[in-house]
Amino acid sequence: MRSLLFIPADAPKKLEKGLTSGADALIVDLEDSIAPDRKKEARESAASFLQEATAKADRPRILVRVNGIETGLTDADLDAVVPGKPDAIMLPKAVGGPSVIHLDAKLTAREAIVGLPDGAITIVALATETAAAMFVAGSYAGSSARLTGLTWGAEDLSAELGAEANRDKDGNFLDPYRLARTLCLAGAAAADVQAIDTVYVDFRNMDGLRRECEEARRDGFTGKLAIHPGQVPVINEVFTPTPAAIAKARAVVAAFAAAPGVGVVGIDGVMFDRPHFARAQALLARAKAAGLG
Ligand code: COA
Ligand code: MG
């Protein structure tokens, strides 16, 4: 998933628009974009959208962001949305692997009730939204086979830290958030799941968005959260492997295929070893997912 577009669950017009936005995934939000006294309406709206949208043949993946386990609202959220068969649940304010295990158990029971196969609904966790979560970013590894991605957020973390800002005057994340970003990236790599970069809230600033996408891709993220449909084309473009990158990856895979049992090869005077081979294979898989070869 290159682009994952957040949509408040109580906004049917935006939900409808999301379907044709070009986003690889929609995140129907029951959490922070919904006022506390609107949670019930939001659940109902999410449920009816899921019933209609998940039946469509050609559609983006559909995630639902539930309220965090600490709120006591998660069970009612899941009761409302699991019958609509979302592809995944996004878990905010996760505090390491135990939070994912907790959600896994809640999903297992509900999948059985609605007749879905065990494990059908996957999990993407917001890995570093709380201070405590920063210290256990390595514990997502091995928590659940449902876990397919980790992402991170700067807004809740800065509120919890008591910070006045999370970006400097040039728009660059400050140290605590750069650490959260890195812990998310390392936590995702350790868990062998997708690392997804956080939202870029200045949604009319396409140059800033592009720069942040390019920095994320450079560092190992393979997708980014969006909050506005206008951000989707930029995110998709930056996270789609370029023809040059695909050609290079094919050359690496071909060189290893031509030398079975060998751990290291040379191409055009540059050394490639097993990690390069794994990276090339991952890039080709992403190219394929984007419809390129
Ligand atoms: N998903 C789908 N459609 C969206 C959208 C979204 N996230 N954000 C805006 N749109 C639609 C608008 O409804 C509008 O549609 P229209 O042209 O048919 O009227 C169009 O895109 C242009 O919207 P625009 O006027 O530029 O923005 P806005 O002022 O209506 O909305 C936000 C700004 C931030 C409120 C809105 O983008 C939004 O709700 N984003 C998601 C917020 C969220 O979920 N946050 C939680 C995670 S941090
Ligand atoms: Mg939040």
Question: Whose CA is closest to 134, among 93, 74, 166, 89?
Answer: 93
Q: Which of 10, 227, 232 is the pocket-test mutation for ligand 1 (most atoms within 8 Å of CB)?
A: 227
State the first-to-last Cα distance of the chain, in angstroms, to the nearest integer: 17
Q: Is the CB of 15 under 6 A from ligand 1?
A: no
Q: Is the CB of 277 under 6 A from ligand 1?
A: no
Distance 161 CA to ligand 2 centre (A): 14
Return left, alpha or beta for 59; rule: phi > 0 is left, psi -120 to 50 is alpha, else beta. beta
Residue range 78-127, pLDDT digits in tens: 999 999 999 999 999 999 999 999 999 999 999 999 999 999 999 999 99
Q: Is the CB of 18 under 6 A from ligand 1?
A: yes
Per-domain residue ranges for the chain? Answer: 3-239, 243-289
Residue-level pLDDT at 261: 86
Average pLDDT over residues 158-172: 94
- Beta-carbon neighbour count of residue 122 at 10 Å? 19
Distance 68 CA to ligand 2 centre (A): 10
Residues near ion ligand 2 (Cβ under 5 Å): 32, 156
Please say if the pLDDT value at position 292 is more than 90.
Answer: no
Q: Strand, coil or helix: what is 225?
A: strand
Radius of gyration of the chain (CA): 20
Rounded-to-integer distance, Cα 211 and Cα 55, Å: 36
**Residue with CA nearest ligand 1 atom 8:** 228
Using an 8 Å Cβ cutoff, are 232 and 24 in contact? no
Rounded-to-integer distance, Cα 137 and Cα 234, Å: 29
Q: Is the CB of 7 under 6 A from ligand 1?
A: yes
Strand-pair category, 270-273 with 88-91: unpaired
Indicate the residue type of 195.
A
Least confident range of 179-183, 210-214, 264-268: 264-268
CATH superfamily label, 3-239: Phosphoenolpyruvate-binding domains (3.20.20.60)
Using an 8 Å Cβ cutoff, are 21 and 232 in contact? yes
Q: Is the CB of 22 under 6 A from ligand 1?
A: no
In sequence order, the 6+-apart residues with CB closer than 8 A to the CB of 55 are: none
Please say if the pLDDT value at position 15 is more than 80.
Answer: yes
Which residue has 């492997």 as its token pair?
A: 241
Question: Whose CA is closest to 151, among 25, 261, 46?
Answer: 25
Residue range 166-198, pLDDT digits in tens: 999 988 999 999 999 999 999 999 999 999 999
Residue-level pLDDT at 122: 98
DSSP 55-71: T-SS--EEEEE---GGG
Distance 272 CA to ligand 2 centre (A): 41
Tell me the ligand closest to 154's alpha carbon. 2
Q: Is the CB of 32 under 6 A from ligand 1?
A: yes
Rounded-to-integer distance, Cα 223 and Cα 217, Å: 8
**Residue with CA nearest ligand 1 atom 14:** 14
How far is C-alpha 102 from the chain's CA centre?
A: 19
Rounded-to-integer distance, Cα 270 and Cα 54, Å: 47
Count Cβ neighbours within 10 Å for each residue of 35-72 and write b for 16 or more, e otherwise: eeeebeebbebbbebbeebeeeeeebbbbbbbbbbeee
Please say if the pLDDT value at position 230 is more than 90.
Answer: yes
Indicate the residue type of 80.
A
Using an 8 Å Cβ cutoff, are 56 and 85 in contact? no
Distance 153 CA to ligand 2 centre (A): 7
Q: Is the CB of 199 under 6 A from ligand 1?
A: yes
Distance 13 CA to ligand 1 centre (A): 9
